[in-house]
Amino acid sequence: MAVLITGVAGFIGSHLARALLDRGERVVGLDALTDDGALALKHDRLAPLRQRDGFDFHRGDVADSAELAEVVAAHPDIDRIVHLAARAGVRESIAEPLRFVDANVRGQVAVLEAARRLARVRHIVYASSSSVYGRSTATAFREDDRADAQESVYGATKRAGELMAQTYAQLYPTPMTGLRFFTVYGPWGRPDMAYSTFTDAILSGRPLTLYGHGRARRDFTHIDDIVAGILAALDRPPEGPVPHRVYNLGNSHAEPVSRFVAVLEAACGREADKRYADLPPGDVPYTAAHLTRVEAELGYRPTVSIDTGLPAFVAWYRWYHGL
């Protein structure tokens, strides 16, 4: 039996592939390897996986149903799917909505359709996002909170993916689990994310901009906790007449971005040259995951704080960039 991971050259996908291989699973990886400014990093994430027994890689676009069908046909032993391939970025989604709809909505449906061709599939886990909550005023976001007022096209596409999964779970018997990720960070992370751009700015002596004047708060979640949550979900497919479940995967602590930068400054050993600005369109002032459901049903309990995770990231960043 094998696990298909879409977006396997991505930040989360590459970490998950390694974890699955470490526990003796066979992994089939799919990635388009798009040149979005991080192509070299994607190849570097893939390189150690390609050396592992039990790993098969296919280059292809998850939104291309024909390419996806070829992968599925070549591996009829796929019995679980973790769909992580997506186009990410709140601000970018507002500028290029059609690209996000194609990748995130069409891609989701293509995976659901491909799964129907696999007789053995017993669970599909897919990536959603805290962006589905929009500008929620709740102290902590619960899975049952309303999610019909997204602030960005990205958030809307991820919510659309959840609705498509719910519909397919109702029409067909395959169990599905959606995971709403909250601001994931860690080694091998995306270079466009704040923890990467801030670290680069601090180490190079360039100014960085704190949107929301440093008062915005985010539920920063370390990659090790995210992978642990994905594995817990993968091993526990939902049951019932409509086997679809959605969970938050976060750290449950809404950290001020100003403190996040202070921890980075300490790890880098120098002070940042900070600039301040209003939140841009699409950004929200606050995110925090309520974890009662995922703790009770999956046993998920995050363990990595930013005080531990950010210094480890800075150490990796220095190593990777030869600093």
d(CA 131, CA 111): 21
Query: Which residues are registered as beta bridge partners of 221?
Result: 184
DSSP assignment of 65-108: HHHHHHHHHH-TTEEEEEE------HHHHHH-HHHHHIIIIIHH
CA distances for 136 relative to 93, 131, 140, 147, angstroms: 19, 10, 9, 9
CA distance to 59, 96, 225, 237, 259, per residue, from 297 (Å):
35, 37, 16, 11, 32
Q: Give the separation between CA 317 and CA 193, rounded to whole angstroms.
A: 13
The answer to whether 297 and 230 are in contact (CB under 8 A) is: no
Six token digits for residue 59: 């280059």
- The neighbour count for residue 297, using CB atoms within 10 Å, is 14
- d(CA 193, CA 190) in angstroms, rounded, equals 6
Pick the catalytic residue from 154, 185, 247, 300.
154
Told to judge if 276 belongs to the known catalytic residues of this protein, a careful annotator would answer no
Q: Is residue 254 within 8 Å of 286, Cβ to Cβ?
A: yes
Q: Which residues are catalytic?
A: 154
